[in-house]
Amino acid sequence: MNSTVLLFLALYFLAMLAVGIVAMRRGGSNSMEGYYLSGRNVGPLVTAMTMQSTSMSGYMFLGAGSLGYTQGYYGFWYAAGDIGGGVVNLSVLGRRMRKLSQIMGALTSIEYLEKRYPSKWVRLISALLSVFLLGAYVLAQFIAGGKGLEMVTGLPYEVSLLIAVAVILAYTLMGGYGAVAYTDLLQSLVMLVGIVWILFATLQEVGGLTAANEALATLDPTLLSVWGRGLAYEGQWGIVLGALLIFSIGYMGWPHVVTRHMAMRNPFHARRAGVYSTLWNLVFVSAPYILGTLAILVLPDLDDPEQAIFALAQSLLPAAVVGIVMAAIMAAIMSTADSILLQTGSIAARDLYERFINPRMEEKQMVRVSQLIVLLLGMACALIALFEPPAVFSIVVFTTSVLGSAFLPAYVAAVWWKKANTPGALASIVVGAVVAFLWKYLGLEGATEIHPMLAGLVLSSVTMVTISLATQRRHPVPEHILRAMEETEELRPLPRSLASRQSFEMAHEALTLKSAERPT
C-alpha cells in the first residue's frame, strides 16, 4: 500500500465532502427545488460538466479499457457516438425542456413526463422502471469504485468499496443537486488531467502511436480494425449502429442526465453548455479506448481486462501521479454514482411515495424522505456489490440500452411533437423497455446482428407515432400543454408569470393540504 497514493485520495475525498458542506449551508437541502434542482440556478459550464461526467461514469475507466483490451479499435464506434452526445442532447432537449419543465412545475424527470402526458400510469410505470434500472447502474459504479481502490491502494475489495460508498453518500445527502453538480465540475477536470497524463505516459512507453500500431499489427492485425478482434463484428451494421446510438442520442433517454436541463439557470445557456461539453469530449472520450488497446502491448498477460487502465497507471507512473490518476478514476465513478443516487431517491420519494402513498407530505418532509431513500439504496447496492460483483461493462450497456429505448422518444416528442399524447407515450415506454430487455436476455443480439438499443429505440419510436395518431381523437393533447409547448418555441426568456408558476403550484398545494387538515 503506497502512502502517497492514499494521501492524494484522502485529500480528494475531503474536497468532495467540503463541497457537500458548502452546498448544504447555501440551502441546497432546505427545499424540494433546492435539493432536487439547486434552485434552477446552475450555469452553463457546470451544466455541461455535470452532464458529461455523469454520462461517462466508471465505465470509461473499466468498461472502455476492457473493450479496447479485448477488441482493439472496435471500441471507437462507442467513442464516435459519445463525442457528440452532449451537444446533441443539449441542442435537442436543452432549452425547450428547461422552459417546459418550469412552466409545468416539474421537479423530477418522471414528474415532467406525467405533466406532459397526463396519466398516473405514465408516472407509476416510468418511476418503477427508473428506480430498478438506475439502482443497477449505481451497483455498477460501486463495483468500479471498489475494484479501483483495491488495486491501487492494496486495501481489500470490501474495505475499498465501503470507503467509496461512504464518501459518495455523505456529500450527496448533505447538499443534494448543488453538491452533485459542483463536485461533478471538479471531478470532470480531475478526470481530464488524469486520463491525459496516463495517455502520454503510455504512448511514451510504447514509442508513440505509429510504433504501437505496427506492434499490434504484428500480434494481430484485426486489432487495428473497427470490426473487432478476429473481425468478429465485420458487416454487422445493426450492432455497430447500436454502439453509435447508445452514447450519442441515448443520453436523451436517461432520467439522471436530462434532469440537468431542468436545473439550468437560463434556457439559453444550453447552447454555450453544448460548446463546453463538446470541447471536453474531444479531449477525453477516445483516450480510455486507446489506453485499453495499448495495454495489450504493455500488459500482455493481464487477467482482468477491466483493470487495464488501473494497471497501466500503477506500472508506468510515479506514486504521486498514480494518486492523481486514481483520483480521476474515482471522479468518473463518483460523478455518476452521486447523480444516479440523487435522481433515484428523488423519483422514489416524489414520484412514488408522495404521488401514490402520502400526497400530504410537506416540503421538508419530502427532502428527508428523499435522503432516507438515497441512504437505503446506497446501502443495498453496497451490500450486493460485496457478494456478487458482475462485469461493469455488461451492467452499464444493459441499463443504458433499456433506459434509452424506453424514454428517449417520450422526452424528445414531449417538446417537439404536439400530437404526442398519453397513450402513445405510455405504449412507447413499455414497448421500448420490454424489447431492449428481451433482446439482451434472449440473446437476440447475436442471432439478428442488431444491438438491443437499436431494436428497442426503433420499435419504441414507431409505437409512439402509431399509437399517438391512432388515438388522437379520443385522447387529444390538452390545450394548456399545447400553449406551454408554443411558449418553448419562442426565442425569448420565460415570462415572469410563467417562471413563477412552480412556486405558485407549491403554494397552492400547501394551502390545499392545510385546508384539508383543518377540523370541520
Give the whole-angstrom CA distance, residue 181 versus residue 53.
10
CA dist 400 → 105, 184, 375, 434 (Å): 27, 20, 23, 13
- How far apart (Å, rounded) are the C-alpha atoms in residues 257 and 54? 7
Structural contact between residues 110 and 253, judged by C-beta atoms closer than 8 angstroms = no
In this prediction, residue 27 carries a pLDDT of: 53
Contacts of range 378-385, beta carbons closer than 8 Å, 24 or more positions apart = 378/138, 378/165, 378/168, 378/169, 378/341, 379/165, 380/135, 381/135, 381/138, 381/139, 381/142, 381/165, 382/142, 382/161, 382/162, 382/165, 384/139, 385/139, 385/142, 385/143, 385/146, 385/161
Average confidence (pLDDT) over 235-254:
84
Cα distance between residue 319 and residue 256, in whole Å? 35
Which tens digits make up the pLDDT trace of 284-309? 889 999 999 999 999 998 888 888 98
First to last CA, the chain: 69
* Interaxial angle between packed helices 308-316 and 63-71, expressed in degrees from 0 to 180 and rounded to the nearest 10: 90
Residue 348 has pLDDT above 80, yes or no: yes
Q: Which residue has the cell 412514488?
A: 352
Note the pLDDT tens digit of each residue in 200-242.
Answer: 999 999 999 999 999 999 999 999 999 999 998 888 888 888 8
450 forms bridges with which residues in the sheet? 238
- Give CA separation, 48 vs 184, 220, 349, 386, in Å: 10, 39, 27, 33
CB atoms within 10 A of CB 85: 26
Residue of 88 and 147 predicted with greater confidence = 88
Q: Is 361 helix (H, G, I), strand (E, B) or coil?
A: coil
What pLDDT sits at residue 173?
74
CB within 8 Å of 199: residues ≥ 6 apart? 287, 290, 291
pLDDT digits (tens, 9 = 90+) for 416-437: 999 999 999 999 999 999 999 9
List phi, psi (to 5°) of 412: -70, -45
Cell reading at 420? 404526442
pLDDT of residue 439: 92
CB count, 10 Å around CB of 10?
A: 12
Question: With 60 as the cut, is the pLDDT of residue 97 above it?
Answer: yes
Tens digit of pLDDT for each residue in 45-81? 888 888 887 777 667 887 888 999 999 999 899 888 8
Residue type for position 13:
F
User: What pLDDT is recorded for position 25?
Assistant: 67
Distance CA(90)–CA(87), nearest Å, equals: 5
Domain boundaries defined on the chain: 3-393
Q: Can you tell me the distance from the alpha carbon of 310 to that of 273, in angstroms, rounded to the nearest whole number?
A: 31
Residues in contact with 26: Cβ distance below 8 Å, sequence separation at least 6, in sequence order: 175, 178
The predicted structure's pLDDT at residue 299:
92
Residue-wise DSSP of 257-312? HHHHHHTBSSTTHHHHHHHHHHHHHHHHTTHHHHHHHHHHHH-TT-S-GGGHHHHH
| pTM exceeds 0.75 | yes
When mean pLDDT is compared across 35-44, 412-421, 492-501, the lowest value belongs to 492-501
- Residue 29 sits at φ, ψ, to 5 deg, of -115, 15
Q: Which regions of 435-513 does DSSP assign to beta strands (E)?
A: none
Q: What is the pLDDT of residues 135-161, one digit of tens each?
A: 888 888 888 778 777 876 778 888 888
The CATH architecture annotation of domain 3-393 reads Up-down Bundle (1.20)
Q: Backbone phi, then psi, for 120, in 5-degree steps?
A: -65, -25
On whether the CB atoms of residues 149 and 334 are closer than 8 A, the answer is no
Which residue type does 79 have?
A
Q: Which residue has the higher pLDDT, 86 or 148?
A: 86
Q: What's the length of the chain?
A: 520
Q: How much of the chain, in percent, has pLDDT values that exceed 70?
A: 88
| Position 370 confidence tier, pLDDT thresholds 50, 70, 90 | confident
Q: Is 410 within 8 Å of 255 (Cβ atoms)?
A: no
DSSP 8-state symbol, 505: H
pLDDT of residue 116: 95
